C-alpha cells in the first residue's frame, strides 16, 4: 500500500539487477570481513559507512585492491574539518590504477577510449596504446625537468590527448590543471596564473557547431603571460604547423624501436596533489581547489564502481568539457576497466539529438548529461528512443541542475520503461557527488536516490539542527577523502575555511538548499546563497524554474529576490522567450497561475520581465548572485568577474534595469 510519504516509484530495479550490482556484492563481502550489516539493504550500509568511517574506507581500499606501495598507519589521523588526514604514511599513484587494465593480456587490445567529434566518426585508443603513450609522455615530462608537485596545464578540448596528458602528469607526480579552449585568454589566465604551470598542452583550435575556431592568438597570449612555462606542447587539431619553440605532440608520444618500456609511476603520499580545479569565479578570482591523488582515487573508485556500477563491459559517456569537473570524473571510468567515451563538439549539432546519436553509435551503457539538455530535448519534441537504438543504455544520469519531474517522466516514456534515471548532485569542491545514483534503490520522480556511501549528508536549519522532510542547508558532518586538501595560494587556509566552514564551524556547508525525506531520498532546491525569502518563507529558485519552464513559450528563466533599503522585498522573474513567443498579459497571467497552482501564492513574482537571455558561468550554470548584486546597484566590474561569464553583454541589460529602478 502506498502512503503519502511513500509514493509509488517511477522505476524499481529487478531482483537480478539488485543481486548482481557491485554494491550488493560489496555489502555481503564487507559483512564477512568488516562486520558491515548483512541485512537492511542500502540504508543499513550507508548508516554503517558514516558511523564507522574508518572501517568503511579501509574496506573500499581493499575491495578495489588499492596498491599502496607503502602501507598506511591508520585510515584517518586528524579527523577535523578542514584538515582531516587520510591514510597517513601510505604512498600510491593514481595513474597506475587508471592504467591497471592494460596489464591484463586479455584486455590489452580492448578499447580504453572512444573518441567522437561532430562528424560522428570514431577513433579508438586501446588500453595498451594508452599505457604506452602515457609512459612515453611521462618520460618526456621528466626530461623537461617536471618533478613531483610541478603544475602542468592543458588548454585542450575533450580529446584523447587530454586524457593522456592528465595521466602522464599524474604518473610523474606533477599536478594537472585544465581549461576548455572556448575559455578566453583572461579566463584562462585568471586560473593558470595562480598555479604557475611549467608546461602547457594546447591545441591550435577546436570545432564546435560545424565551425572551426582558431585559438592560435589566444595561445600566444597565454605563452606571453605565463612566465613560468618551460615548454609548450602543440596538438594540431586543426592542422596548424607547430609554432617555433613549441614541441609537437606526435614527437612526444611516437613509439620507439623495440618493446615499449613500462611507465614509471612516481609513488607519492596519499594527500599529494593530483589536480587543481576551479570554482566558477563569478564574483572574484576563481578558487584554485587542490584535491589529492589518494582522496580522488578512493572517492572515484567508490562512485564509479559502486554507485554507477561500472565495470569492464560498460561504455561510459558523459557530455562535458575539460573546464568542468565532470571531465575529471569521466576519466575515472578507467579505474574500473570501463571504456570511456569522449565527445568533442556542440551538444546540439547538427541537431538537438546529437548526444543521443553519440550514445547510439558508441554503444554507451551509462550516459550522463545535463538536466538542461534533457529538458531541451523534451521541449524540442524529439523521440530518442524511437529514432535511435539506445537498447544498450541502462542508465541516464543528469547533473548541473536539478532534473525537474517532467524530465524524469520524459526519460521514462521516451527512452525505456526499464531505465535507471540517476539525478546526481555534488560539486567541483569535492569532484564527486554528495547524493545520487544507487543501482539497488527505486527512483522517485524529482528525487535523488540517496546520499552517497561514506557521505554524512544532512539538512540543517538555521540553528544547526538536522531536519527531515524540511528544507535545510546541505551540510556534511564528517570528512570525505576528496574534500580539498587546500586552496592554492591560501597559506593560512582562511579562504578555504570561509568558503565552507564559516556558518557551521567544523561542518562542511555547501551552499545548497536540500530536503532529505524520511525515505532517505534527497531533493535539491537550488543555491542557498541566492535564496528567495518571501515573508519569512525560504524558497529555492530551482522550484520556480521547474514550474515556469514547462510552458512552451519560456526558453529559460531567472528569478531574483532583492531586499530593499526601505524594508521591502522585490522578486522579479526574468524570462527568455522561445522564438515567436510574446510576453503579453495572457502569458504573464499563465506564468503567475502556473506558479500559484504548482508552488504557492508566495512564489508568484512581483514583476515578469522579458530579457534577451540568461547569463551563465562558463560551465553552464545560471548566474544569480551577480545579477542580484547588479540590481542592488553594484557596478558591473565589481559584481562579476567578466571572464567567468558566457556572455557578459547580457549582464549589461540587467545593469540597465537596475539603473532604471534607481
Q: Which comes out higher in pLDDT, residue 536 or 103? A: 103
pLDDT tens figures, 549-604: 989 999 999 999 887 665 667 899 999 999 999 999 999 999 999 988 877 777 88
5: pLDDT strictly greater than 80: no
pLDDT tens figures, 340-362: 999 999 988 899 999 999 999 99
Q: How far is 139 from 168, CA to CA, in rounded Å?
A: 8
DSSP for residue 266: -
CA nearest 393: which of 348, 422, 363, 434? 363
pLDDT for the residue 566: 59
pLDDT for the residue 18: 97
Q: How far is 330 from 349, CA to CA, in rounded Å?
A: 22
**pLDDT band for position 279 (50/70/90)?**
confident
Q: How far is 342 from 112, CA to CA, in rounded Å?
A: 11
Secondary structure of 108-161 as H, E, C letters: CCCEEEEEEECCCCEEEEEHHHHHHHHHHHHHHHHHCCCCCCCEEEEECCCCHH
- Cell numbers found for residue 506: 567544523
Quickly count: other Cβ atoms within 10 Å of residue 462's Cβ. 9
For the chain, what percent of residues have pLDDT higher than 70? 95
pLDDT tens figures, 310-324: 999 999 999 999 988
Q: What are phi and psi of 30, to 5 degrees?
A: -70, -30
Q: What are phi and psi of 570, to 5 degrees?
A: -110, 125
pLDDT tens figures, 599-654: 777 788 999 999 999 999 887 888 888 888 888 788 888 778 777 788 888 999 89
Q: Using an 8 Å Cβ cutoff, are 187 and 643 in contact? A: yes
**pLDDT band for position 1 (50/70/90)?**
very low
pLDDT tens figures, 92-102: 999 999 999 99
Q: How far is 153 from 432, CA to CA, in rounded Å?
A: 21
CA triplet 591, 594, 595: central angle to 5 degrees?
A: 90
**420 vs 331, 511, 524, CA distance in Å?**
22, 28, 19
Q: How far is 338 from 368, CA to CA, in rounded Å?
A: 15
pLDDT for the residue 257: 67
- Cell numbers found for residue 345: 563538439
Q: What are phi and psi of 343, to 5 degrees?
A: -120, 125
531: pLDDT strictly greater than 70: no
DSSP for residue 642: G
519: pLDDT strictly greater than 80: yes
- Paired residues of 427 in beta bridges: 432
Q: Which of 16-20, 61-65, 128-132, 182-186 has the lowest mean pLDDT?
A: 182-186
For the chain, what percent of residues have pLDDT higher than 90? 74
- Cell numbers found for residue 204: 591550435
The per-residue pLDDT of the chain, averaged, comes to 92
pLDDT for the residue 4: 47
- Cell numbers found for residue 374: 534533457
Say whether 192 sits in a helix, a strand or coil.
helix
- Paired residues of 366 in beta bridges: 316, 395
Name the packing angle between helices 405-414 and 371-380 (round to 10°): 60
Can you tell me the mean pLDDT for 13-22? 97
pLDDT for the residue 198: 98
Q: How far is 459 from 452, CA to CA, in rounded Å?
A: 14
Q: How far is 149 from 545, CA to CA, in rounded Å?
A: 43
Output the DSSP codes for 215-256.
-HHHHHHHHHH-TT-SEEEEE-TT-PPPPTT-EEHHHHH---
527: pLDDT strictly greater than 90: no
Q: How far is 110 from 451, CA to CA, in rounded Å?
A: 34
Q: What are phi and psi of 490, to 5 degrees?
A: -135, 65
Q: How far is 356 from 364, CA to CA, in rounded Å?
A: 10
Residue with cell 572501517: 55
pLDDT for the residue 356: 97
Secondary structure of 26-93 as H, E, C letters: HHHHHHHHHCCCCCCHHHHHHHHHHHCHHHHHHHHHHHCCCCCCECCCCCECCCCCCCCCECCCCEEC
513: pLDDT strictly greater than 80: yes
pTM assigned to the model: 0.86
Q: Which of 224-238, 257-271, 274-288, 290-304 has the lowest mean pLDDT?
A: 274-288
pLDDT tens figures, 578-587: 999 999 999 9
Quickly count: other Cβ atoms within 10 Å of residue 468's Cβ. 13
Q: Using an 8 Å Cβ cutoff, are 223 and 191 in contact? A: no
pLDDT for the residue 259: 72
**pLDDT band for position 500 (50/70/90)?**
very high
Amino acid at each position: 500500500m502506498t502512503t503519502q510519504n511513500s509514493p509509488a516509484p517511477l522505476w524499481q530495479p529487478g531482483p537480478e539487477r539488485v543481486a548482481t550490482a557491485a554494491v550488493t556484492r560489496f555489502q555481503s563481502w564487507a559483512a564477512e570481513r568488516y562486520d558491515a550489516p548483512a541485512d537492511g539493504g542500502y540504508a543499513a550500509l550507508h548508516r554503517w559507512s558514516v558511523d564507522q568511517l574508518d572501517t568503511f574506507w579501509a574496506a573500499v581500499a581493499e575491495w578495489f585492491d588499492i596498491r599502496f606501495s607503502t602501507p598506511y598507519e591508520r585510515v584517518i589521523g586528524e579527523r577535523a574539518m578542514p584538515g582531516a588526514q587520510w591514510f597517513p604514511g601510505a604512498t600510491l599513484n593514481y595513474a597506475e590504477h587508471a592504467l591497471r587494465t592494460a596489464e591484463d593480456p586479455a584486455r590489452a587490445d580492448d578499447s580504453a577510449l572512444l573518441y567522437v567529434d561532430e562528424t560522428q566518426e570514431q577513433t579508438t585508443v586501446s588500453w595498451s596504446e594508452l599505457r604506452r603513450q602515457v609512459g612515453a609522455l611521462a618520460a618526456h615530462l621528466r626530461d623537461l625537468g617536471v618533478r613531483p608537485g610541478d603544475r602542468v596545464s592543458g588548454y585542450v578540448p575533450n580529446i584523447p590527448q587530454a586524457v593522456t596528458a592528465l595521466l602522464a602528469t599524474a604518473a610523474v607526480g606533477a599536478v594537472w590543471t585544465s581549461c576548455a579552449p572556448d575559455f578566453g585568454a583572461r579566463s584562462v589566465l585568471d586560473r593558470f596564473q595562480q598555479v604557475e604551470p611549467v608546461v602547457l598542452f594546447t591545441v591550435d583550435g577546436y570545432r564546435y557547431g560545424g565551425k572551426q575556431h582558431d585559438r592560435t592568438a589566444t595561445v600566444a597570449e597565454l605563452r606571453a603571460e605565463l612566465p613560468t612555462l618551460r615548454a609548450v606542447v602543440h596538438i594540431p587539431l586543426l592542422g596548424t604547423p607547430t609554432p617555433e619553440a613549441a614541441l609537437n605532440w606526435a614527437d612526444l608520444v611516437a613509439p620507439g624501436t623495440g618493446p615499449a618500456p613500462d611507465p614509471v609511476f612516481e609513488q607519492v603520499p596519499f594527500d599529494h596533489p593530483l589536480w587543481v580545479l576551479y570554482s566558477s569565479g563569478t564574483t572574484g578570482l576563481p578558487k584554485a581547489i587542490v584535491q589529492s591523488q589518494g582522496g580522488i582515487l578512493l572517492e572515484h573508485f567508490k562512485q564509479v564502481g559502486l554507485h554507477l556500477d561500472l565495470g569492464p563491459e560498460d561504455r561510459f559517456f558523459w557530455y562535458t568539457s575539460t573546464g568542468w569537473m565532470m571531465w575529471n570524473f569521466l576519466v575515472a571510468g578507467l579505474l574500473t576497466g570501463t571504456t570511456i567515451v569522449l565527445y568533442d563538439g556542440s551538444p546540439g549539432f547538427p541537431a538537438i539529438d546529437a548526444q543521443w546519436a553519440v550514445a547510439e553509435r558508441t554503444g554507451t551503457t551509462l550516459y550522463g548529461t545535463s538536466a538542461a539538455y534533457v529538458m531541451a530535448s523534451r521541449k524540442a519534441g524529439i523521440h530518442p528512443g524511437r529514432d535511435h537504438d539506445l537498447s544498450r543504455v541502462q542508465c541516464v544520469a543528469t547533473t548541473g541542475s536539478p532534473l525537474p519531474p517532467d524530465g524524469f517522466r520524459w526519460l521514462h516514456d521516451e527512452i525505456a520503461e526499464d531505465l535507471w534515471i540517476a539525478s546526481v548532485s555534488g560539486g567541483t569542491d569535492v569532484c564527486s557527488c554528495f547524493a545520487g545514483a544507487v543501482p539497488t534503490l527505486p527512483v522517485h520522480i524529482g528525487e535523488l536516490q540517496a546520499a552517497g556511501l561514506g557521505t554524512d549528508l544532512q539538512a540543517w536549519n538555521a540553528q544547526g539542527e538536522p531536519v527531515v522532510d524540511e528544507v535545510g542547508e546541505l551540510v556534511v558532518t564528517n570528512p570525505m577523502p576528496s574534500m580539498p586538501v587546500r586552496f592554492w595560494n591560501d597559506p593560512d587556509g582562511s579562504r578555504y575555511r570561509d568558503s565552507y566552514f564559516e556558518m557551521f564551524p567544523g561542518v562542511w556547508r555547501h551552499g545548497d538548499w536540500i530536503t532529505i525525506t524520511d525515505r532517505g531520498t534527497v531533493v535539491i532546491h537550488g543555491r542557498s546563497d541566492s535564496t528567495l525569502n518571501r515573508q519569512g518563507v525560504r524558497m529555492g529558485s530551482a522550484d520556480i524554474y521547474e514550474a515556469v519552464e514547462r510552458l512552451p513559450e519560456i526558453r529559460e528563466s531567472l528569478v531574483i529576490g532583492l531586499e530593499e533599503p526601505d524594508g521591502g522585498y522585490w522578486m522579479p522573474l526574468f524570462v527568455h522567450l522561445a522564438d515567436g513567443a510574446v510576453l503579453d498579459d495572457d502569458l504573464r497571467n499563465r506564468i503567475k497561475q502556473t506558479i500559484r497552482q504548482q508552488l504557492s501564492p508566495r512564489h508568484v513574482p512581483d514583476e515578469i520581465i522579458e530579457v534577451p537571455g540568461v547569463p551563465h558561468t562558463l560551465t553552464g550554470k545560471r548566474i544569480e548572485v551577480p545579477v542580484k548584486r547588479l540590481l542592488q546597484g553594484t557596478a558591473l566590474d565589481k559584481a562579476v568577474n567578466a571572464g567567468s561569464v558566457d556572455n557578459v553583454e547580457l549582464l549589461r541589460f540587467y545593469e540597465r534595469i537596475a539603473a532604471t529602478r534607481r
